[in-house]
């Protein structure tokens, strides 16, 4: 089998990757919805894969990976890798998880972030109300993650939150020494969340990036009585093109509150120091950014050797990426906690753009691992053609 083409179309706000072959089998991959500017970057890789045998996934990704980088520049390589696995699975008549080594679990635990009502504000009452709304969601999530500190709008909603100037205009980074009032406000909000969630539900907090080391340590220590599952991206995180391994190591070794990072990191080499130096308790690679689903499995296996847990990140992607992540997560060792459930544009979940998606997708906080060949999900060509943008009309050719 030979690759004959690489296509990309922005469907329901999300760049979808399609690889075609001379045997009529095609494969799908997906990029985060917020990165629809990446279509030209996806197409850049066509020159490297035309004529290759798509079932040699590792051989092709070894070739491409050198032309990728930390988020967002690893997204295209990752989506292509997913599409190659989809083809390899369909060619073999096997679900992708079988090609990755087989299942360790039949259903994959997912956790809630942005699905459901959004926070209306950043007061303790706002957090409590949002937690109550999320508990009422039909998905049955058992773990919830909320924004805190420099993640979301808390830092900007309170002029006394930190010693620094609020920079607006995404993706401007904010960072600074947090005031006593700011720290106390964080603690009050977590207290309000715990009062609603109790001991039945897990609570994680996405905090940055933006905390300097002393503020990160103070926050993590102040939150120790609340038994939160993790504090995410305190130091570096989303879109940082590097990893502050030593800073994370200092914070992690100063507290019993588990520390998490990694959603922007590319490849196992990008994670190596963080894992081997036990600089965090939990890593959060995103299979859509880390280099793909096999790469994320490699990262998880390395983490397991060092006693580091994994709770993979997922952004605004959608069902193709979710299925890729579910196949991957089904094969991870026992250091796996839960997969972030992607908040995709609603057309992906509610419309008829895809075939093969079990509904409801999430039951009792889990997603079933599909048994169909490949990723187990197909685009509904008729429905997708109706929404294709003019510049994407060659997508099904
Ligand atoms: Mg995050």
CA dihedral 344, 75, 204, 366 (to 10 degrees): 60
CA dihedral 84, 58, 301, 210 (to 10 degrees): -70
Give distance in angstroms: CA of 314 to centre of ligand 1. 8
User: So what's the pLDDT on residue 351?
Assistant: 85
Query: What are the beta bridge partners of residue 143?
Result: 202
- Structure-block tokens of residue 225: 């009585």
Give distance in angstroms: CA of 206 to centre of ligand 1. 5
User: So what's the pLDDT on residue 345?
Assistant: 83
Is 298:268 a contact under the CB 8 Å cutoff? yes
User: So what's the pLDDT on residue 129?
Assistant: 98
* 354-355 vs 259-261, strand pairing mode: unpaired
Q: b/e map of 303-325 (b: 16 or more CB within 10 Å)?
A: bbeeebbbbbbbbbbbbbbbbbb
Give distance in angstroms: CA of 101 to centre of ligand 1. 28
Give distance in angstroms: CA of 149 to centre of ligand 1. 12
Per-residue pLDDT of the chain (397 residues; tens, 9 = 90+): 999 999 999 999 999 999 999 999 999 999 988 888 999 999 999 999 999 999 999 999 999 999 999 999 999 999 999 999 999 999 999 999 999 999 999 999 999 998 889 999 999 999 999 999 999 999 999 999 999 999 999 999 999 999 999 998 877 789 999 999 999 999 999 999 999 999 999 999 999 999 999 999 999 999 999 999 999 999 999 999 999 999 999 999 999 999 999 999 999 999 999 999 999 999 999 999 999 999 999 999 999 999 999 999 998 889 999 999 999 999 999 999 999 998 888 889 888 999 999 999 999 999 999 999 999 999 999 999 999 999 999 999 9
Give distance in angstroms: CA of 319 to centre of ligand 1. 19
User: So what's the pLDDT on residue 235?
Assistant: 97
Give distance in angstroms: CA of 371 to centre of ligand 1. 30
Give distance in angstroms: CA of 237 to centre of ligand 1. 7
User: So what's the pLDDT on residue 96?
Assistant: 98
Query: What are the residue ranges of helices labelled H in the chain?
Result: 39-44, 46-49, 57-64, 75-92, 96-99, 124-135, 154-157, 180-197, 213-222, 245-252, 267-276, 293-305, 319-330, 346-350, 381-387
The per-residue pLDDT for range 201-218, each reduced to its tens digit, is: 999 999 999 999 999 999
Give distance in angstroms: CA of 208 to centre of ligand 1. 8
Is 316:345 a contact under the CB 8 Å cutoff? yes
Give distance in angstroms: CA of 146 to centre of ligand 1. 10
Give distance in angstroms: CA of 261 to centre of ligand 1. 8
Is 62:40 a contact under the CB 8 Å cutoff? no
Region at 24 (left for phi over 0; alpha for psi -120 to 50; beta for the rest): left
Q: In sequence order, which residues have a C-beta less than 8 Å from that of residue 13 and are 6 or more positions away?
A: 33, 36, 345
Give distance in angstroms: CA of 312 to centre of ligand 1. 10
User: So what's the pLDDT on residue 168?
Assistant: 86
Burial class (CB in 10 A: 0-12, 13-18, 19+), 85: buried
Give distance in angstroms: CA of 318 to centre of ligand 1. 17
Spell out the domains of the chain, with CATH numbers in brackets: 3-93+379-392 (3.30.390.10), 99-376 (3.20.20.120)
DSSP states of 24-87:
S--EEEE--GGGGGGHHHHHHTHHHHTTS-TT-HHHHHHHHGGG--STTTTHHHHHHHHHHHHH
User: So what's the pLDDT on residue 240?
Assistant: 95
The per-residue pLDDT for range 321-334, each reduced to its tens digit, is: 999 999 999 999 99
Is 83:27 a contact under the CB 8 Å cutoff? yes
Peptide bond into 57 cis (omega under 30): no
Q: What is the pTM of this model?
A: 0.97
Query: What are the residue ranges of helices labelled H in 72-212?
Result: 75-92, 96-99, 124-135, 154-157, 180-197
Give distance in angstroms: CA of 92 to centre of ligand 1. 35
Give distance in angstroms: CA of 134 to centre of ligand 1. 18
The angle at the Cα of 69, spanning 103 to 15, to the nearest 5 degrees, equals: 70
The angle at the Cα of 216, spanning 175 to 340, to the nearest 5 degrees, equals: 85
Is 89:372 a contact under the CB 8 Å cutoff? no
Residue 312's SS3 state is coil
Query: What are the beta bridge partners of residue 7?
Result: 18
Burial class (CB in 10 A: 0-12, 13-18, 19+), 105: middle
Give distance in angstroms: CA of 112 to centre of ligand 1. 12
* 14-21 vs 143-147, strand pairing mode: unpaired
């Amino acid at each position: 089998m030979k690759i004959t083409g690489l296509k990309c179309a922005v469907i329901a706000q999300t760049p979808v990757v399609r690889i075609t072959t001379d045997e009529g089998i095609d494969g799908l991959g997906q990029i985060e919805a917020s990165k629809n500017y990446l279509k030209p970057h996806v197409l850049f890789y066509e020159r490297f894969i035309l004529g290759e045998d798509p079932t040699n996934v590792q051989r092709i990704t070894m070739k491409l990976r050198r032309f990728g980088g930390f988020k967002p520049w690893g997204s295209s390589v990752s989506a292509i890798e997913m599409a190659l696995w989809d083809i390899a699975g369909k060619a073999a008549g096997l679900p992708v998880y079988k090609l990755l080594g087989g299942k360790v679990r039949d259903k994959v635990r997912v956790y809630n972030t942005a699905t459901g009502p959004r926070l209306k504000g950043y007061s303790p009452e706002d957090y409590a109300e949002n937690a109550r709304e999320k508990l009422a969601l039909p998905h049955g999530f058992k773990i919830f993650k909320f924004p805190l500190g420099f993640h979301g709008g808390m830092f900007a909603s309170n002029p006394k939150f930190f010693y620094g100037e609020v920079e607006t205009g995404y993706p401007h980074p904010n960072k600074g020494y947090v005031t006593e009032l700011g720290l106390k406000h964080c603690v009050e909000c977590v207290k309000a969340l715990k009062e609603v969630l109790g001991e039945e539900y897990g609570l994680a907090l996405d905090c940055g990036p933006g905390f300097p080391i002393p503020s990160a340590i103070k926050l993590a220590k102040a939150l120790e009585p609340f038994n939160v599952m993790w504090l995410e991206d305190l130091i570096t995180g989303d879109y940082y093109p590097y990893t502050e391994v030593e800073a994370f190591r200092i914070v992690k070794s100063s507290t019993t509150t588990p520390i998490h990072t990694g959603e922007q990191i590319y490849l196992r080499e990008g994670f190596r120091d963080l894992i081997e130096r036990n600089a965090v308790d939990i890593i959060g690679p995103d299979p859509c950014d880390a280099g793909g689903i096999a790469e994320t499995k490699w990262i998880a296996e390395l983490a397991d050797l060092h006693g580091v847990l994994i709770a993979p990140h997922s952004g605004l992607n959608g069902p193709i990426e979710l299925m890729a992540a579910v196949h991957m997560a089904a094969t991870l060792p026992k250091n796996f906690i839960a997969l972030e459930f992607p908040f995709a544009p609603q057309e992906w979940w509610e419309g008829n753009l895809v075939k093969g998606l079990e509904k409801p997708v999430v039951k009792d906080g889990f997603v079933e691992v599909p048994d169909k060949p490949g990723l187990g999900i197909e685009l509904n060509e008729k429905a997708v053609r109706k929404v294709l943008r003019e510049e994407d009309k060659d997508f099904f050719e």
